[in-house]
Amino acid sequence: MTATTDGSTGAMEPRAAAASETTESTPAADEVLEAAERAAARSVDYLLGTQDAEGWWKGDLETNVTMDAEDLLLRQFLGIQDERTVQAAGLFIRGEQRDDGTWATFHEGPGELSTTIEAYVALRLAGDAPDDPHMARASAWIRRHGGIAASRVFTRIWLALFGWWKWDDLPEMPPEIIFLPKWLPLNIYDFGCWARQTIVPLTVVSAKRPVRPAPFALDELHADARNPNPAKRLAPMTSWDGVFQRIDKGLHFYHRVAPRAVRKASMNAAARWIIERQENDGCWGGIQPPAVYSVIALHLVGYDLDHPVMRAGLESLDRFAIWREDGARMIEACQSPVWDTCLATIALADAGVRPDHPALVKAADWMLGEEISRPGDWSVRRPDLAPGGWAFEFHNDNYPDIDDTAEVVLALRRVRHPEPARLEAAVERGVRWNLGMQSKNGAWGAFDADNTSAFPNRLPFCDFGEVIDPPSADVTAHVLEMLAVEGKAHDPRSRRSIEWLLAEQETSGAWFGRWGVNYIYGTGSVLPALTAAGLPMSHPAIRRAVTWLESVQNDDGGWGEDLRSYREEKWIGHGASTASQTAWALLALLAAGEREGKAVERGVAWLAETQREDGSWDEPYFTGTGFPWDFSINYNLYRQVFPLTALGRYVHGEPFGPDRQGVR
């Protein structure tokens, strides 16, 4: 059977004979192939039907209720809350509460203290009473787990804004950090871009220490209301923790004696830094948390709510809201149209959609229009590098990222565009920019080059998630795959990245996943890159990875890995089967030449069997990360694009292999 659709939708081409023939075809193998073709055809139709008229795709980006809680707290702080928004946010937050009274940060994850505290406070703002059964369960759990004193710094900053926590009991981060030269440790460019966008405005907040009248008390959230913040013993001076704790004490003293002129100048400099990085749509980096803190900081230094900068910032926050049919309102931490569009383009092309199909051309047009043409913060470390590349979001010209740029190039190379010179020029700029962002060790981080200082993570202020951006296996693999497609597999820079990837392989045979969960994502990224770059399928590293993937396949034929694998070894490679993670494993195995293997057949069969009638897949589990474990993401389009890519390669072969009619 050949997977085809009419020209008005999928326009899928017949599968390549070399990819579909087997040396010993069996009825079971033929049935799996036919099921894969049918599933791919349905998936193509589904994905084409979800494309925006402008050419992009975007799935909902689910995180956790701290986004919604902090949105309500911001509105309370600024005095701009409205009843409809408050009640809609409350409806969503209430619906995410677990039976034990807690809120988790990912599907079926454990209750998380700071998230539960913020959700509880938000519901108090929405009118829920502390003695309501669901609220009483939450507060009892919070007290049992240490109360507010045991929560993370960012949670306590939000509470300090209303006098529910003392500013003196928070770590200090002075705005004078804005003046530190880039060669000095702990300057703002030592932090990852997401961290620096958050920390700079928070230094202003920390300096101002505002307190707005609290609408109610929160005594019920302290483990001991008489002693809400028991003194903690300092770590020994001989440890890094001890050193930084004492530095923090010195910064608290400096807060009391800081020269007013210096303090004012530093806050003004921070405000200028913030405003210079505001995007055209009013947001900051296309990310909700930095936007929230930037609005607060600018308000504290004197920008009223009617100022154009403030109006644009507040309006941008509304664009993170998704209103659901039941009246609930969910806040996205970020939006991922560039990422989703390039992955959808790759999926459709690899599934046989012709390279000049109108949907692919329209997607390519939109991506070409999103190319970044001006320097951003990355140029601090690479001042001589010409701009290029793509960011993750609709509007983010300051922070293009290496991962998106690599995948956009791979997507564009699959499209036969009516203006080939335009596409070629954009690809060349993207490749040049990515090569220029290679770190000293031969690998790539996500946003910056050589962002590897060990100091930022040690600050008492930085107790949540990653605050630096070191190279990772998954990003490096995507760049290497792109370079191989561009004919640069033997470039010395590519060879260095291969050496780095081989050195990063775990003893199990897997690779760690930084931006996806977890070892399945890392391994699913690396194997296609290594084989594309010419590493033979018989190479010991590839065979070890294949053995590991086969060893962690679930009994149902799929693959899954729980987010707890970032903390608990027993979860590595284990979890409920998901469409996206099954696809990642299949992409790795197919790249390693395992198309005829039983593991691949079982995985393909699982995808075909679990596909819904409309051609989509369901996936409540979170398989993406912002910070491993600390901030988890459910990319709603992952469950569509990756299974289609895997099915397409199973049916048609590798996208740039000798059996495919590529566009190059």
- Active-site residues, by number, are 403
Alpha-carbon distance values, 584 to 8, 133, 334, 483, 576 (Å): 30, 43, 23, 20, 14
- Give SS3 for 141: helix
Inter-CA distances, 586 with 301, 546, 557, Å: 53, 10, 11
Q: Which residue has the tokens 């001589």?
A: 384
Determine the Cα–Cα distance for residues 171 and 232; give it in Å rounded to an integer.
13
Is 415:360 a contact under the CB 8 Å cutoff?
Answer: yes
Q: How many Å from the N-terminal Cα to the C-terminal Cα in the chain?
A: 28
Handedness of CA 616, 619, 624, 625 (dihedral sign): positive
Token pair in block for residue 52: 């925006």
Side by side, the strands of the sheet bearing 631-635 are 61-62, 631-635, 624-627
- Give 345's contacts (C-beta < 8 A, 6+ positions apart): 360, 363, 364, 367, 411, 412, 414, 415
Please compute Rg for the chain using Cα positions: 25
Alpha carbon separation from 627 to 117, 218, 322, 516, 623 (Å, rounded): 20, 29, 23, 10, 12
Residue 613, Cβ density class (10 Å: 0-12 exposed, 13-18 middle, ≥19 buried): exposed
Rounded to whole angstroms, what are the CA distances from 139 to 113, 131, 168, 214, 524? 10, 9, 25, 18, 42
d(C-alpha 528, C-alpha 545), whole Å: 12
CB 316 within 8 A of CB 281: yes
Neighbours of 142 (CB within 10 A): 26
Q: Confirm if 178 and 362 have CB atoms less than 8 A apart.
A: no
Print the SS3 string covering 100-133: CCCCECCCCCCECHHHHHHHHHHHHHCCCCCCCH
- Residue pair 40/644 in contact (Cβ under 8 Å)? The answer is yes
Q: Which tokens is 615 given? A: 């051609």
Residue 498 contacts residue 533 (beta carbons within 8 Å): yes
CB 347 within 8 A of CB 363: no
